[in-house]
A = this chain, B = another copy of it.
Amino acid sequence: MKVQERYNEYVQKMHKIADVKYALAVLQWDQETYLPPKGADFRAQQMATLSEIAHTLFAEDHLGKLLEDLTVTDGLDPDQRRNAEHTLEDYRKNKKYSPQFVRELSECTSRSYFAWIEARKKNDFSVFKKSLQDLINLKRKESDILDYDQHPYDAHLNEYEKGASVEWLDAMFKELEPPLRQILADVSGKPQPEDHFLFQHFDKDAQWHLGLDLLKQVGFDFDAGRQDISEHPFTTNFSPLDVRVTTRIDENDFTSMAWSCLHEGGHAMYEQGLPVRQYGLPLGEYCSVAIHESQSRLWENCIGRSLPFLEHNMPLFKKYFPQLNSLTSHQLFAGVNRVKPSLIRTEADELTYHFHIMIRYRLEKKLIEGTLNAEEIPGFWNESYRSLLGVEIPDDKRGCLQDIHWSHGSFGYFPTYSLGSLYAAQFFAAMKKQHDQLEHQISNGDYLFVHQWLRDNVYQYGKTFTGSDLCNKITGEPLQLRYFTQYLTDKYKMIYGLSK
């Protein structure tokens, strides 16, 4: 068979696997949005079956042979070769897991999730600790299965961000912490801006329509996607031509939904921008979790919490919410950017957010290297919050039980949130460097340049590069923390009147 025929066979196979995985994603989406309560058990079973089918299809020996063969044969173009290489790597990784380990992990994760739910209900971490420790033990085994050079946590970090390591992240957080602490100290010494106007009653229906308007304004394509309501906002996709975002509405908080729409919209526009012709193939997938997060944070924060954006949207906000009529755009800008050390990660401001991540990163590192046990988490957690953010943790629910990630077995995910902010700041700086009228355009609601830049520099590449290599290629330098600290300093100078 000619090499192109073999490549096509590989593509057909990947399409089939993608079809099953996306079908599974439709079932998950429906589960979070519309599923009637009694349907939950059969739905879980149906999803497990699809998941098993996808797994079986991807594990077929024939695919392995095809990939081994394709990756050593001449005649593929560079993109085709990259696809085959990426898939072979995934294939080999997949083969490392014994069916027994997969089952054990899946069962343990399921137990762990329900224990977390229960623990939250009882506001008592001790209900969670046993199954969490079991899960950590399996995750430690998984480090060995996946293999690593220096630190067992590296194996898990790599699952979300290829090339990430403890060495790299230790250095990064070590460099990031002092300037962030300095900024926090500076703004804490200043009078805090008003933000009570954000927490009035805001009509649900008006919020919903504002959310749709904002998504449309920033460029979400409603012919290739839609928005629905779910308990927790998320983005999912069933092809680049069908990307779904969800949101939730808090009638007493104006910011919660509006900026969540921008956040999910950023994720979603990335998915809508991925190359359609690469459906089901690595180059049709997003680059990395951190790069995905950079897209949501770019739209939510760099653009969405900027003065130009708010200036442009004051009439829209006031149209839906007459109670904001006397508000100035600068007041709103100060309100939505107010810095306030707090207990809950997802409600944190752009500065203190990263202290939440540092705490989780340090904790996970210790858990995976085995120098901390699950039962020691509350102590470590509470002490870290005291020393880093100066807040007292009143109970487990507002402490170490707040995030779902561990109950899902997602160790190594949290750092990508910080990386996302850092990449976003560096990308946004690169855009502004190339286009000195960018902020003026944004103040006119014109995002053409942003879209073109993202299309040319991020969307079109899919998984061609690692996040780190992509950053190097499109900004001319590796990840630099100063873009983020400068971004924060500039912003807080306007709000708090910092001297630097």
Contact = CB atoms under 8 A, between A and B. Distances in A.
Interface of A: 15-16, 19-20, 22-24, 26-27, 30, 34-39, 41-43, 45-46, 48-50, 53, 221-226, 228, 238-239, 241-242, 279
A53 B241 contact: no
Contacts of A30: 26, 30
Contact of A19 (B15, B50, B242, B279): B50
11 contacts: A16-B49, A20-B53, A23-B26, A26-B26, A34-B226, A36-B225, A36-B226, A37-B223, A39-B241, A42-B238, A43-B239
A34 B239 CA distance: 15
A239 B46 CA distance: 10
A363 to B, nearest CB: 38
A402 to B, nearest CB: 30
Given A15-B49, A19-B49, A43-B242, 4 more contacts: A30-B30, A39-B242, A42-B279, A53-B53
B38 A23 contact: no
B223 A36 contact: yes
Contact of A50 (B23, B48, B238, B241): B23
Contacts of A224: 36, 38-39
Given A30-B30, A49-B16, A53-B53, A242 B38 contact: yes
B50 A22 contact: no
A54 B197 CA distance: 56
A241 B16 contact: no
A22 B42 contact: yes
B238 A38 contact: no
A370 B23 CA distance: 41
A41 B238 contact: no
A493 B52 CA distance: 61
Given A23-B27, A46-B19, A50-B23, A41 B241 contact: yes
A95 B16 CA distance: 24
Given A50-B19, A53-B53, A242 B36 contact: yes
Contacts of A239: 39, 42-43
A238 B46 contact: yes
Closest 10 CB pairs of A and B: A39-B242, A19-B49, A42-B239, A38-B241, A38-B224, A19-B46, A38-B223, A39-B241, A37-B223, A23-B46
Contacts of A222: 36
A35 to B, nearest CB: 7
A43 B223 contact: no
A442 to B, nearest CB: 27
Contacts of A15: 45, 49
Contacts of A53: 20, 53
Contacts of A34: 226, 228
Nearest to A17: B49
Contacts of A39: 224, 238-239, 241-242
A49 B279 CA distance: 14
A39 B53 CA distance: 23
A34 to B, nearest CB: 6
Nearest to A50: B23
Nearest to A22: B46
- In this complex, which of A19, A30, A45 has the most chain B Cβ atoms within 10 angstroms of its Cβ? A19
Nearest to A52: B16
Nearest to A35: B242
A81 B306 CA distance: 69
A238 B50 CA distance: 14
Nearest to A41: B241
A24 B37 CA distance: 20
A15 B23 CA distance: 18
Contact of A42 (B16, B37, B48, B241): B241
A207 B222 CA distance: 27
A19 B27 CA distance: 11
A222 B224 CA distance: 30
A226 B31 CA distance: 13
Contacts of A221: 38
Contacts of A241: 36, 38-39, 41-42
Contacts of A41: 241
A221 B238 CA distance: 30
A20 B37 contact: no
A43 to B, nearest CB: 7
A223 to B, nearest CB: 5
